[in-house]
Chains A and B, each alone.
Chain A
Amino acid sequence: MRILLFANRTTKEIVRDPIAILFGLGFPIVLLLLLSAINKSIPVDLFHITELTPGIAVFGLSFMALFAAQVISKDRESSFLTRLFTTPMTSKDFIIGYSLPLLVMSIVQGIICYVIAILLGLSISTPMFIALALLIPPAFIFVSLGLICGTLLSEKAATGLSGALLTNLSAWLSGIWFDLDLVGGPFKTIAYALPFVHAVDMGKAAMSGQYSDIFPHLWWVLGYAVVLTVLAIVLFKMKMKAD
């Protein structure tokens, strides 16, 4: 009951910021349209719609981290959260109430991304649905990262960090825009130590129908998802008990 009330409120808080929604939904869609248009005139494998869509879908998720960080840091700075700490709300109510709407939005965003891709020529297939389902573990990563930023940092720092840094990180180190093999070296090593490129690679593997290629990427992503989710919960609980 409390969880749903609070989740409902989180949703309203985010959805009523039209600029955020415009960016979060619009930006990935624009990229999808732009890159597939480029691909039409100069065909590049990387920008072929079946390769491109899983990448853009993961990139789109990074906006969820931004939204989460924004809502939570704003609640902290406006002392609304402090006030809620004096009510019967439990840490579970807070954490699920903050993250559930964002996880749902992640899936909605993924669906929108794939619908646009279908309009651009992607064929509806089982692999596509599997790729879509594979967005759920990375969604946990991004939402947890947002929760962590929002819990620890000021609104300015939280939105700055999760916005600029994270979107860039997930963009550059995810192999969406260029093949990491072409760069190689330490850059590639770092990229493969982080979850972003794994999230994209497993989506691409699913789309290609080579399901066995989803591994070991899925393990990386799940590992990061579990660790970050636990970390987010622990940090938030600590914040509740602070002082």
Chain B
Amino acid sequence: MTTAIAINALTKKYGTKTVVDNISFTIKEGELFGLLGVNGAGKTTLIKMLSGLTMPTTGDATLLGKSVTQSPEQVRQVIAVSPQETAIASNLTVRENLELLAGIQGFNKEEGKRKADEMISQFSLQPFEKQRAKTLSGGWQRKLSIAIALISEPQILFLDEPTLGLDILGRRELWAQIEKLKEKTTIILTTHYLEEAEELSDRICIMKNGQMKALGTAQELIKTSKKTSFEDAFVHFVTEGDVQ
């Protein structure tokens, strides 16, 4: 297996505050990597640095051999991001949103149409196809926002809290799609649903105050923490040293 993402001493400071603190690890191609941590741990900031949105203060990372600090344009060719916030063009219809992003990612018109059809059916968006995005309910906007990320068939996919605001059916649908994508796509997933992370991830990294507190499979993390469930293990790592 080859390396998809190599993170090397990545650090981000805002003023005097260190938000991501000297993080290093590698992610293999085709791996589904879970990034966990409490609110404000630095997960989104780490994803923003890996996707070229934010420049690291120090350190670097390479995605399929391309450096985020040296050649962010090349990094953008191989990634797709579903941001933590729902990000859609509100005055475009569902289909127009999908076709626009397909076009931006380099698909021609027919391919874009076909890809949009695929996404619409995968996310059960048929009833809303011609509806303006701003008139969808929050959860459906969310699904559209994720579908937009998947449409480009990226080699590396970042999903920042994808299931936020989805009902249980929507979550299950998404899990099934993620499972399917796993074979050919490297996925970095953040979530606050621990069972989701445990179920889907090949390996999990737990962050706290910008630092990496644990790294391994769910089983390994349970074992290291000497707990019986993954939830207890998670609590152990994010409260380590704290008075409980």
Are the CB atoms of A87 and B104 closer together than 8 Å?
A: yes
Q: Which of A9-17, A158-166, A199-207 contacts B (4 or more CB under 8 A)?
A: A9-17
Residues from chain A with a CB closer than 8 A to the CB of B55 are 241, 243
- Interface residue? A183 (CB, 8 A): no
Q: How far is the CB of A10 from chain B (nearest CB, A)?
A: 10
Binary contact readout B66-98 vs A (1 if CB under 8 angstroms, 0 otherwise): 000000010011011101011111111000100
Are the CB atoms of A13 and B92 closer together than 8 Å?
A: yes
- Interface residue? B176 (CB, 8 A): no
Q: A12-B96, A243-B53 are in contact. Are A84 and B91 (CB under 8 A)?
A: no
Are the CB atoms of B104 and A17 closer together than 8 Å?
A: no
Q: Which listed residue (B54, B86, B91, B101) contacts A87, Cβ 8 A? A: B101
Q: Which listed residue (B73, B85, B132) contacts A88, Cβ 8 A? A: B73
- Interface residue? B170 (CB, 8 A): no
Q: How far is the CB of A79 from chain B (nearest CB, A)?
A: 4
Are the CB atoms of A88 and B106 closer together than 8 Å?
A: yes
User: Considering the chains assembled together, what is the distance between the CA atoms of A233 and B105 in angstroms?
Assistant: 23
- Interface residue? A82 (CB, 8 A): yes
- Interface residue? B52 (CB, 8 A): yes
Q: Which of A50-108 contact B (CB under 8 A)?
A: 74-75, 78-80, 82-90
- Interface residue? A22 (CB, 8 A): no
Q: How far is the CB of A243 from chain B (nearest CB, A)?
A: 4
Are the CB atoms of B105 and A79 closer together than 8 Å?
A: no
User: Considering the chains assembled together, what is the distance between the CA atoms of A5 and B99 in angstroms?
Assistant: 9
Are the CB atoms of A82 and B83 closer together than 8 Å?
A: yes
Q: Which of A1-30 contact B (CB under 8 A)?
A: 1-2, 5-6, 9, 12-13, 16-17
Interface residue range, chain B: 20 to 34
User: Considering the chains assembled together, what is the distance between the CA atoms of A243 and B79 in angstroms?
Assistant: 20
User: Considering the chains assembled together, what is the distance between the CA atoms of A90 and B52 in angstroms?
Assistant: 13
Are the CB atoms of A88 and B77 closer together than 8 Å?
A: yes
Q: A12-B91, A12-B96 are in contact. Are A243 and B54 (CB under 8 A)?
A: yes
- Interface residue? B51 (CB, 8 A): yes
- Interface residue? B100 (CB, 8 A): yes
Interface residue range, chain A: 20 to 34
Binary contact readout A154-197 vs B (1 if CB under 8 angstroms, 0 otherwise): 00000000000000000000000000000000000000000000
Are the CB atoms of B80 and A5 closer together than 8 Å?
A: no
Q: How far is the CB of B188 from chain A (nearest CB, A)?
A: 13
Residues from chain B with a CB closer than 8 A to the CB of A241 are 55
User: Considering the chains assembled together, what is the distance between the CA atoms of A134 and B76 in angstroms?
Assistant: 40
Q: A83-B83, A86-B79 are in contact. Are A78 and B90 (CB under 8 A)?
A: yes
Q: Which listed residue (A6, A13, A74, A78) contacts B104, Cβ 8 A? A: A6
Q: Which listed residue (A80, A82, A87) contacts B89, Cβ 8 A? A: A80
- Interface residue? B216 (CB, 8 A): no
Residues from chain B with a CB closer than 8 A to the CB of A82 are 53, 83, 87
Are the CB atoms of B91 and A86 closer together than 8 Å?
A: no
Q: Of all chain B residues, which has the CB nearest A77?
A: B85
Binary contact readout B150-168 vs A (1 if CB under 8 angstroms, 0 otherwise): 0010000000000000000
Residues from chain B with a CB closer than 8 A to the CB of A2 are 103-104
Are the CB atoms of B52 and A79 closer together than 8 Å?
A: no
What are 16 of the A-B contact pairs (CB < 8 Å)? Answer: A2-B103, A5-B100, A6-B104, A9-B92, A13-B91, A75-B89, A78-B88, A79-B85, A84-B104, A85-B52, A86-B52, A86-B76, A87-B80, A87-B152, A88-B105, A89-B104
Q: When A and B form their complex, which 9 residue pairs have the shortest distance between CB atoms, in order from nearest?
A: A83-B87, A243-B54, A79-B87, A79-B85, A86-B81, A5-B103, A16-B91, A13-B91, A86-B51
Q: What 11 additional pairs, Cβ within 8 angstroms, besides A6-B104, A83-B148, A88-B76?
A: A2-B103, A2-B104, A9-B92, A9-B100, A82-B83, A84-B104, A86-B52, A86-B76, A86-B81, A87-B80, A87-B152
Interface residues of B (CB under 8 A from A): 48, 51-55, 73, 76-77, 79-81, 83, 85-92, 96, 100-101, 103-106, 132, 148, 152
